[in-house]
Structure formats: C-alpha cells, structure tokens
Amino acid sequence: MLILGIESSCDETSAAVVEERGGRVYALSNIVASQIETHRLYGGVVPEIASRAHIEAISPTVLQALSEAGVTPRELDAVAVTSHPGLIGALLVGVNFAKSFAYAWDKPIVPVNHVHAHTAAAYLAMPGLEPPFLSLVVSGGHTSFYHVAGFTDYREIGGTRDDAAGEAFDKIGRVIGLPYPGGAAMDKLAREGDLSEYRREFMLPSPALTGDNLDFSFSGLKTAALNLLNGMAQRGEALEGERRAAFASAYTGAIVSAIASKIPAALAASGCRRLVIAGGVAANSHLREAAANVCRAVGAELILPPTNLCGDNAAMVAAEGAFLFSAGVRGDVSLNAHAGDSDN
C-alpha cells in the first residue's frame, strides 16, 4: 500500500510517500520545506506568514515527494493529511490541498492527528515495532504520555497543564538571545555549561507536578527563569560566556530531569516495558541521555527515532495514515481542519 502524507500544522510544509507492507511502514521520500528562517526575524511563528508560506510551498513539496519516491499519483492508495491540532490557517492549507488532490485523482483521504503521528515516527525508525508501548510526545505544543494500546489506539495518561516543554525552551531561549526556535540552540549551549559555581544562583523549580499523577506544569519554571533573568538585568549583571552556558544547563536540567522523573511511574501506569520518545524535543541530547539512563535503571527498552523524524515531517503522518486507512478511517469532501486536540 502506498500513502501520500501531507503536513502543514505549524512552520514546516512537508510531503512524503510511505509504503506499508505486512503491517510495516517504510518512508520512500520525506520532503520538509522549513519556514524557520522566515519566522526567525520575528522570534516566533507568525501564523499569517506561515499560512502564506505553506500555500507557496505545498505544490512543489508534494511533487518532489512523489518524484523522489518514484511514485505516480495514480499508484497511490490514499492521501493522509494532518487535520489537527495546530495553527488553523496553516492546517487549512494542507487539508484543502489534500482534498483537492484526492478528489482529482479519485483517492480516499485519511485525516490524521498530528500528535499521534509523532509517535508513528517510531514505526518508521524500527519497522516491526508493534503496540503496546508507552509513548512520550514532547514538542512545541505537547508534553504528553500515551499508552499506545494499538496502532490507532492512543490513551493519554499524563500531560502538561499549561505550556509544553518545547515552548518553555523557545520562550526562555529568546530571552537569553538564542535564535528561534531556541530548543536546539539551548541544547548545544547547555552542553558547554558547567553548573558547579552557579548551582545556588540558578536554582529553578521543577515542572513535574508532585503527587500521584503524570502531569507537568511549565509556566512556573518559565516565570521563575524570567524573574531570575530580570533581577540580573536590573542589577546590571550581564548574562554571557560561561554564566550564560551555566544558565542554559540549569534550565535544560530542570526540564529534562522533570520529564525523566515521571518515566518510571508512566511505564508502571501503562503496564508496558517499552518507551518511545517522539516530537521535536525528543531530539534534545540531554533528554535522550537521561531517558536512556532511566530506562536502563528500570529495565525498560527505549526507542528513540532519529532526530530528522522527531521534528515535524509528513512521513510520520503517512505512517499513521497507513494504519488508520487499514482500520477503515476515511474523510470526505466535508473534512475540515481544527486547532484543538480533540479527534472530533
């Protein structure tokens, strides 16, 4: 089975062709046209600019995905498209392109949940992987644990009460002068950071909620970091050199250790011994190390997709779409995009 995937929920226009054979998925192409340079000027994603950039990029991106895969539209079995959650104007570009394409070539259309699709990157990274397992999706919009009971059966068992981990990286990254999106730059800067002299100065609250839950709250950490940085600015103290790197290390450490601390309880709650970590923040080198240590300590298997499959891409959408298609899920000409998480 050949599935064309289309993704336009935020700031990457992406198209991919995925082949499904015997329940396994393989990416034949995965083209990502990033808008990051455009939005960097503004320090964050500007929704209206994102929508316009998707409109410009979508046709060439889809054509390139088909040609790189060596697949013609006629050979496709279905078109899978991210229908939610995300920026509504951005989503609408992908959904409307997918509907027109599917109508023109008389192909079925499959709406895909972007957050579930992040987990499906693991099936591409490890063909043969099958549920059940625990999935942790850490991205710009989500920090959620899912008990993945089947290829299309996601049960959220924990999440963030406010901001997501990626957003927490990007917002504070911007304040300390890192280019948008701050996550990857903070990851690198934190590698250079030596906290030994700064541990007391850069004491930050944990975003892991206490008690018997698998939830996070990143807003308190963000506020504490802002207060700390504002206090330094008011005292005329510069945040540069090794001090800036030490701050990045303390801030990254607060996020990563909070997430890692919830992994054993999340594994126990799901009854699984395997953990997939997916989403843009899954590319974070500190998180990858911390998760490996926790999983080793509790005897669980860890599956980390390669970093190019962590960020937004259409291969993950096509992969999830292949399983949904097999389960009989179809959209029609009335298919609409929506910004929220709900599948309805």
Binding site for ligand KG4 (CB under 6 A): 10, 139-141, 166, 169-170, 181-184, 187, 279-281, 283-284, 311-312
The residue (of 140 and 305) whose beta carbon lies closer to ligand KG4 is 140
Residue with tokens 């903070």: 186
Smallest separation (angstroms) from ligand KG4 to the CB of 166? 3
> Of 2 and 8, which has the nearer Cβ to ligand KG4?
8
Smallest separation (angstroms) from ligand KG4 to the CB of 30: 14
In angstroms, the Cα distances linking 149 to 22, 152, 202, 272, 322 are 19, 8, 40, 10, 17
The DSSP symbol for 142 reads: -
| Identity of the residue, 66 or 173, whose beta carbon is nearer to ligand KG4 in the bound complex | 173
- Least distance (Å) between residue 278 CB and ligand KG4: 8
Report the alpha-carbon angle 314-315-317, nearest 5: 60
Of 5 and 141, the one with the shorter C-beta distance to ligand KG4 is: 141
Binding mask 35-54 for Zn ion (x = CB under 5 A): --------------------
Q: How many binding residues for Zn ion (CB under 5 A)?
A: 2
Tokens of 145: 């644990």
Q: Given strand 153-158, what is the order of strands in its sheet?
A: 153-158, 143-150, 133-138, 274-278, 301-303
Residue 182 CA to residue 200 CA, distance in Å, equals 24
Select 141 or 158, whichever has its Cβ closest to ligand KG4.
141
CA distances from 304 to 29, 177, 188, 340 (A): 20, 29, 19, 26
Q: Considering only residues 123-162, where is the footprint of Zn ion by CB under 5 A?
A: 139
Give the residue carrying structure tokens 């292949």.
322
The rounded distance, in Å, linking the Cα atoms of 173 and 141 is 16
**Whether the Cβ atoms of residue 151 and residue 327 lie closer than 8 Å to each other:** yes
Nearer to ligand KG4, 89 or 141 (CB): 141
> Interacting stretch for Zn ion, rule CB under 5 A, among 31-39, 145-153, 174-182, 306-314?
306-314
As measured in angstroms, the least distance from the Cβ of 287 to ligand KG4 is 7
Q: Closest distance between ligand KG4 and the C-beta of residue 100, in Å?
A: 25
CB of 284 to ligand KG4, least distance (A): 3
| CA separation, residue 146 to residues 112, 133, 150 (Å) | 16, 8, 11
What is the rounded CA–CA span in Å between residue 235 and residue 216? 32
Find the shortest distance in angstroms from Cβ 199 to Zn ion: 33
Binding mask 89-128 for Zn ion (x = CB under 5 A): ----------------------------------------
Between 71 and 282, CB nearer to ligand KG4 = 282
Residue 76 touches which member of Zn ion, ligand KG4, none, C-beta under 5-8 Å by kind: none
Residue 7, interface with Zn ion (CB under 5 A)?
no
From 25, 312, 313, 314, residue interacting with Zn ion (rule: CB under 5 A) = 312
Provide, rounded to whole angstroms, the least separation between the CB of residue 72 and ligand KG4: 30
Nearest to 215 by CA among 279, 136, 115: 136
- What span, in angstroms and rounded, lies between the C-alpha atoms of 312 and 316? 8
Residue 181 phi/psi, 5-degree rounding, is -80, 140
Enumerate binding residues for Zn ion (CB under 5 A): 139, 312
